Amino acid sequence: LDQPVANIMTKGDRLVTVVNGQDQKVVTSYEGEISIRSSSDRHAGRTMAIISINLFLLNLLPIPILDGGHLLFYCIEGVKGAPLSMRKMELAQQIGLMLLMILMVFALFNDITNLFNRW
């Protein structure tokens, strides 16, 4: 149990470093489906557990299109006493979707770059 927890903490530290733009090596270490597939052949069970935990944590981020974003909307509604307007929620959902798409393209770009660097 110590290793998965340490893995989660490392991912969190990496995410903060990427957002702050502090270390380019960390930026290139994010992987997408291609890299995950190549490593999952060797360590299938462990890799699937780590992917599940990472997806759980990613889903709880306060990005509006994810579950964490819905929780954020509920918190705002609780503090404000009324729900946000439909237009504000739609705009937040669109921004959240754009952020997720950028993250996916970023991971795919790193995968392709790493794949060509191996050859």
Q: Which amino acid, 11?
A: K
The answer to whether 50 touches 58, Cβ cutoff 8 Å, is no
Question: Of 53, 78, 76, which Cα lies nearest the Cα of 64?
Answer: 76
**Does the reported pTM lie above 0.85?**
no
pLDDT score for 32? 64
| Residue ranges for the chain with pLDDT beneath 50 | none
pLDDT score for 3? 65
Residue pLDDT, tens place only, 49-70: 777 888 888 888 888 888 999 9
Tokens of 25: 């090596």
Alpha-carbon distance values, 49 to 52, 63, 101 (Å): 5, 23, 24
pLDDT score for 77? 92
Tokens of 73: 């909307």
Number of H helices, E strands in the chain: 6, 0
Place of tokens 């996916």: 104
Angstrom distance (rounded) from CA 68 to CA 59: 6
